[in-house]
Amino acid sequence: MTKYLTLVAVGDRQSKKTELLLRYTGGCKSRRHNEYVVPKYDQVFSVLKPMIWEIFRFQNNVQNIIVDRIPRTVYFMDTESDDDYEILRRDAYEKADCILLCYSIKAKSTFKNVYRKWCLEVRKHTPFVPIVLIGTEAEARGNNSDVVSTEQGENLKLLIGAYAFIECSIENFLGIDDIFIEAVRSTTYPKRKL
């Protein structure tokens, strides 16, 4: 029997949440070389943002996956980060089985907003839905000392009561499968309160 789950990605625009979902679901592949391509949002879609971007990002938002030998159909929802879309995000939160709370390791402002904005908003509307905290752009850590550390991410996980904390590299496809495995597990095996 297939179980149906909804995973909702939340975070600032710079958190790379959309690129994470596109990478996992196989959206944005170059037909010629079958390689992953992420469009530059500000350059390509600035004029047609409301129409084109919404259609583009949800081309392939359902995946059938198997976790712990149980088949599941997972529906991915990407939320808009602008304050004007809070009502739409609220609707997404109500449908969520798990929240994917994202920040960019190389953009400290996105890390700060996880606690200041996103966690408060998520917990206000869905206090008991599990959260998986995700640090994207892990590849930036090798080149830059002014990034969010793994220890800071672990501390934030404890602070917000997240089910799991995972760092990933969208560019190198590292840790991406782990994110979705843990997200599915969070809906099946909730952690006990001590």
List the domains of the chain with CATH numbers: 3-188 (3.40.50.300)
What pLDDT does residue 51 have?
Answer: 40
pLDDT at position 27: 60
Residue among 10, 33, 35, 34 at smallest CA distance from 21: 10
Measured CA to CA, the distance from residue 74 to residue 87 in angstroms comes to 23
Helix-helix angle 17-25:176-188, to 10 degrees: 90
Neighbours of 49 (CB within 10 A): 14
- What is the model's pLDDT at position 84? 80
Q: What is the pLDDT of residue 147?
A: 92
- How far, CA to CA in Å, does 66 sit from each of 1, 21, 69, 82, 180? 12, 17, 6, 34, 10
Coil vs helix vs strand at 47: coil
C-beta of residue 183 within 8 angstroms of C-beta of residue 132: yes
pTM here?
0.81
Mean pLDDT for the chain overall: 82
Name the phi and psi angles at 93, rounded to 5: -60, -40
Q: Cα dist. 125→19, 22, 89 in Å? A: 25, 26, 10
Pairwise CA distance, residues 5 & 61, whole Å: 12
pLDDT tens, the chain, 194 aa long: 667 899 999 999 999 999 999 888 876 543 333 344 444 444 444 444 444 444 344 445 888 999 999 999 999 999 988 888 888 888 889 999 999 999 999 999 999 999 999 999 999 999 999 999 999 999 988 777 789 999 999 999 999 999 999 999 998 899 999 999 999 999 987 654 43
Strands 3-10, 164-167: pairing kind:
unpaired
Q: Is the separation of the CB atoms in 16 and 111 below 8 Å?
A: no
| Cβ atoms of residues 141 and 51 within 8 Å | no
Cα separation of 180 and 160, whole Å? 19
Strand locations in 43-156 (E): 62-67, 70-78, 98-104, 131-136
Of 138, 172, 139, 143, which is closest to residue 153 (Cα–Cα)?
138
What's the pLDDT score for residue 33? 36
